[in-house]
Amino acid sequence: MKGCTLRRTILVPAIFALAAATATAAQAEPKLIYKVDKVTAAIIRNRLVVNASGAVNSGGWTLPRLHLLPHKPEADTEVIEFQAMPPLADAVVIQALLPISTTAVFPLPHYGVTQIKVVGETNAVMAPLQTTPPPAAPASRGR
């Protein structure tokens, strides 16, 4: 009888731990947000800075991010996916379009890239690549 109790003591927590690990792993995949509303892209201090805002179709979405896709040779567009972590399948969340935004910094884009395309689940938005001029050196006064 004592051996049976010991097995239950070990087996029950192991089952709960396995169930928790499985439930967490199912949610570990970020997904595209519902739609992209606005995108800005600029070269600032030799880095590509992209700011995007859009909407998700329910509450509970977390960790928004921009994911740079591999560049196609000779393309003038860098393609970026707007992703976030959706709520758990059994979570109680509001069913409404809710705003979401994020900013990401990437290395300089490939030569010839003139625009950025941010992709969501239902649409994509293009933005021209803005380049900021280097700060002007202070004018020296000749004496």
Nearest to 77 by CA among 42, 109, 35: 109
> What is the rounded CA–CA span in Å between residue 49 and residue 43?
6
Q: Name, in order, each residue with C-beta under 8 angstroms of 22's C-beta and a sequence gap of 6 or more.
A: none
Predicted pLDDT at 73: 87
Mean of per-residue pLDDT scores for the chain: 85
- Render pLDDT for 73-106 as a digit per residue (tens, 0 to 9): 889 999 999 999 999 999 999 999 999 999 999 9
> What is the rounded CA–CA span in Å between residue 28 and residue 58?
18
- Render pLDDT for 100-124 as a digit per residue (tens, 0 to 9): 999 999 999 989 999 999 999 999 9
Where along the chain do its domains lie? 31-131
> What is the rounded CA–CA span in Å between residue 53 and residue 126?
13
- Counting residues of the chain whose pLDDT is more than 70, the rounded percentage is 72
pLDDT class for 67, splitting at 50, 70, 90?
very high
> What is the rounded CA–CA span in Å between residue 77 and residue 66?
15
Spell out the alpha helix ranges (H) of the chain. 2-26
> What is the rounded CA–CA span in Å between residue 110 and residue 9?
59
More confident residue, 69 or 132: 69
